[in-house]
Amino acid sequence: MDYNFVEIEKKWQTYWAENKTFKVKEDPSKPKYYVLDMFPYPSGAGLHVGHPLGYIASDIYSRYKRLKGFNVLHPMGYDAFGLPAEQYAIQTGQHPDVTTEQNIARYREQMDRIGFSYDWSREVRTCDPKYYKWTQWAFLEMFNHWYNNDTRRAEPIAELTVRFGKEGNLKVNAANNAQKEFSAAEWNNFSEVEKSEALMWYRIAYQGETAVNWCPQLGTVLANDEVKEGFSVRGGYPVEQKKMKQWQLRVSAYAQRLLTDMETLEWTDSLKDMQRNWIGRSQGAEMIFKVSNGKREYDMTIFTTRADTIFGVTFMVLAPESEWVDILTTPEQRSAVDEYLLAVKKKTERERIAETRKVTGVFSGSYAINPLTLEKVPVWISEYVLAGYGTGAIMAVPAHDSRDYVFAKTFNLPIIPLIEGCDISQESFDAKDGIMCNSGFLNGMSVKEAIPAAIDYVEAKGIGKRKINYRLRDAIFSRQRYWGEPFPIYYKDGIPTPMSESELPLQLPDVDKFLPTESGEPPLARAENWTYRGYPIEKSTMPGFAGSSAYYLRYMDPHNDSALVSHEADEYWRNVDLYIGGTEHATGHLIYSRFWNKFLYDCGYVCELEPFKKLINQGMIQGRSNFVYRIKNTNTFVSYGLKDRYDTTEIHVNVNIVNNDRLDMEAFKAWMPDYHNAEFILEDGEYVCGYAIEKMSKSMFNVVNPDQICEKYGADTLRMYEMFLGPLEQSKPWDTKGIDGVHRFLRKLWRLYFDRDEFCVCSDNATPDELKALHKLIFKVQNDIESFSFNTTVSAFMIAVNELSDLKCNKRSILEPLVIILSPFAPHIAEELWHLLGHNESISFAEFPKFIDAYVVEDTFEYPVSFNGKLRFKLNLSKSMSAKEVEAAVLADENTTRFLQGATVKKVIVVPSKIINIVC
RNA sequence: GCUCAGGUGGUGGAAUAGGUAGACACGCAGGACUUAAAAUCCUGUGGGCAGCAAUGUCCGUACGGGUUCGAUUCCCGUCCCGAGCACCA
């Protein structure tokens, strides 16, 4: 009987669906395990072979954990709000709802074909009102909370209102963007509008005016992680900085907790590093400088991490957008400053980035007083100082900061070295290393001593204090687009007012067109009656990350109408044990989700501080494009090896008509009418194509569709081959050559169970060789799966099946466990064989075979022995000893005992086939 | 510029903790079965040198040093590729 994967796979996929095999519910008798994939955005192009890589890995792990007795939650859904559907809608007039629905159906069909063990009864879609009710709910909760820096948690805004009534905002230690201070009396005299404004400075979801990334082509603002090198990540349009009033989330309030709690996570170092970088903690001090524009004196605060260098301050620099610019510009300098500001403003974000390190600046005309030396130093304005970080003003120490150095050289400002023996003739000395000089009371100290000493000094003198700054900014939360969650906010006499929870979801209204209005308002302005009790409703919608921030919680209790997740479900499933997805979300989704979770934790809705315990980033699968070489002005194509003899054009050729870089010439002629009469110059009778590794995309004809692979080889082959391709985390090109090897393996495995056409498994006792092959496999598979080394697991299966094949093994005691071990990787063939072996229940309910250590030790005569890592001699041991016997023999050996000289043996480690380590 | 991850045959990649480098697979070459093809199976396959041969021997994990009885693995320096951040004071 042949291995008929088409029939087998269809049969078991239907069986799993009909029997709801992978449906789970809370079960206190079993330990839980939550395996999550980053849910996909359902694009019109469907899945290509790169998409399922992570899903296959998570599915293998889920199935493995089930065999190990865990109650596994393994759900899937769709991140369905987003720009492509909206842009398609603008072009075609087709409602995004319709295209989204179609795309989801296609995704589902493709995923089903690969045989994933998802619990589809828990599916979520972010664009479903039943789902986004809870996105809106979370927003309202954030609107109704503020962040208390003393208790380090979010607290209800109602309590803040009470405190304002009693003591104003002076004593409140909160994360805020307050514009002014007020007393209790002032608060009590505030109008409703003034109160609303003041509270807005404290809300965790707040409306505030800041410089935002504005993308004119998309007609919307974007968050920092949606912009790369001055262009929008989606679409690649230029982005400019603009001051606008937008909804924001006070993510910055959580900066320290996001940093601290990261220590507990099992994420890769590089990913943690990216987040650390993004959060950008830096420890230093704020210092007050007296500044004067000739008429009046002011206190100006700056931030520095190098308080020790204060004796070397020779000028100050303001960001062009700083409010100090206007105050400190003197009448004589006014026109020069205005000209400079105009020039800076005209630059696009892109030019600014391109011209990084080009030095520009202008003198304000004012001076500052160095609080320690009492010297007068000029105040300059330059774009190298950023308005959004620290206070938007710096003290410049050209001797020990490379940017200040270049600026000083350009504008001929003095440079004072502060570290003994440093050479600053060519460049600044930035290292925090050396002995201080020219620095008054700091002289003779090392830099590391001088930094805290300087801060202590300024704190004592009342001219500064310790301060920690973060680069993490609040997240811009509104988008001027249609296809997103509407804000449950209306404007009552101009005051942003939340709707009540019972009125959610606020459904997305229908509009005639999906474009902004002529007057530049967002598309929702087109909706008829977009009002609430006669008041206008907010017209922006929420960004993509809103819906994806808490979806992992919703899976725990997806049909609950009265809560995002019930306490019971949350207490049982807690958080995600294993999360698999791409690195591209490192500074977006993975920060927002952590923030969102911590906020819900503060409010008591969830029981875990972190959403994703362990995270694995699967690599990207790139395309492998093939080329043919057309001799210019002819219809003749020359094979790769001969192309240099002619003047040729390189043309992408559909990879699906190329096999092992050999072109199927007939298929090529049929591919496009132009090539119908193509002629070929061959090498050894074959046409060899060139290749390149590129992004998988339609235009390069290098897209490989998983359906094609399933059709030709079956889902089990696809699953195993994707794992076999290389380490999960590594990016690699898809290359179909090699898939035959994996397919051959499955056929070979199938044949183990058959004698000619008869299913043939006997119940004789297994031989030691057969047992050894099996147990080596169990050992290897367990180790490898636990360390996510799936590519070597596939190799281990191949070795085991080759060995059993050579032994002509047909023993049930070997072949039955083999099926169980294989089932996470190739579930369809495993399920079929499992039933042929006489089982009625799905293999998912089987137990992973126990490993007997006696069969792991390899036969070998000479074991190298290492003693605390140092090799001293070799030891002769007999064949087929168990680990324990080897250990006993080591301890009994004369050479060993002589060498140990009475030291106590703590541990004897026998590594199969390799070496014995003796730890004393 | 800074941070992180990597560099192993013709190719993808193995090598548990410093212990036989190149597992497994692809490709290639040769062979068996077959009228033939497909499928299947077997053998060989890092490089050099010696030999009819079994085999022997030297060199080999980007490059140069170091630690070690022993280094693909650890340390220092150089080069190259990839990813992220990019005037964050």
Maximum mean pLDDT: which of A198-207, A640-649, A757-766 = A198-207
What's the pLDDT score for residue A885? 62
Q: How far is the CA of A857 from the C1' of B48 (A)?
A: 37
Nucleotide nearest to A871 (CA to C1'): B69
- Phi, psi angle pair for A399, to nearest 5°: -65, -25
CA distance A583 to A742: 28
Q: Which of A30-39, A50-59, A88-97 has the lowest mean pLDDT?
A: A88-97
More confident: A17 or A902: A17
ipTM over 0.85: yes
The per-residue pLDDT for A914 is 41
Q: Confidence class of residue A911 from pLDDT cuts 50, 70 and 90?
A: very low
Specify the nucleotide whose C1' lies closest to residue A684 (CA).
Answer: B28
Nearest protein residue to nucleotide B16 (CA to C1' distance) is A911
Residue A660's contacts (CB-CB under 8 Å, 6 or more residues apart) are A737
Q: Smallest CA–C1' separation from A388: which nucleotide?
A: B88
Q: What is the pLDDT of residue A702?
A: 85
CA-to-C1' span, A12 to B36 (A): 38
State whether the Cα torsion A487-A493-A494-A496 is positive or negative.
negative
Distance between CA atoms of residues A526 and A545, nearest Å = 24
| Confidence grade of residue A912 (pLDDT, cut at 50, 70, 90) | very low
pLDDT at A216: 80
Instruction: Output the distance from A864 CA to B52 C1' rounded to whole Å.
Output: 38
Mark the nucleotides of strand B covered by protein, meaning any atom under 7 Å from a CB: 3-5, 11-20, 23-28, 39-42, 68-70, 82-89
Confidence band for A500, pLDDT divided at 50, 70 and 90: very high
> What CA–CA distances, in Å, run from A273 to A260, A583, A586?
13, 12, 10
Q: How far is CA A881 from CA A262, A306, A911, in A?
A: 45, 65, 13
Q: How confident is the model at residue A689 (pLDDT cuts 50, 70, 90)?
A: confident
Shortest CA–C1' contact from A404: which nucleotide?
A: B89
- DSSP letter string over A159-192? HHHHHHHHHTTSS--B----S----HHHHHH--H
Measured at the CA of A470, the angle between CA A468 and CA A475, to 5 degrees, comes to 145
State the nucleotide closest to A393 in CA–C1' terms: B89
Per-residue model confidence as pLDDT tens digits over A778-814? 988 998 999 999 999 999 999 999 999 988 899 999 9
pLDDT band at A691 (very low <50, low <70, confident <90, very high): confident
Distance from residue A795's CA to nucleotide B40's C1', rounded to whole Å: 21
Checking each nucleotide's C1' against the CA of A309, the nearest proves to be B89
What pLDDT is attached to residue A346? 76
Minimum-distance nucleotide, CA of A858 to C1': B20
For residue A455, pLDDT beyond 80: yes
Rounded CA separation A201/A874 (Å): 74
The C1' atom of B57 and the CA atom of A299 lie apart, in whole Å, by 82
pLDDT for the residue A61 = 97
Q: How confident is the model over A323-340, as a mean pLDDT? A: 94
CA geometry: angle A32, A38, A42, nearest 5 deg: 130
How far does the CA of A234 sit from the C1' of B31, in Å? 57
pLDDT at A595: 97
Q: Give the CA A113 to C1' B38 distance in Å.
A: 28
Pick from A303, A302, A342, A305: nearest CA to A324: A302
CA of A661 to C1' of B32 (A): 29
Give the CA-to-C1' distance from A494 to B15 in angstroms.
69
Range in A130-144, A162-176, A237-251 the model is least confident about: A237-251
Minimum CA–C1' distance nucleotide for A270: B4
Q: Would the pLDDT of A368 be above 90?
A: yes
Per-residue model confidence (pLDDT) at position A98: 94
Return the higher-pLDDT residue of A846 and A646: A846
CA of A170 to C1' of B59 (A): 77
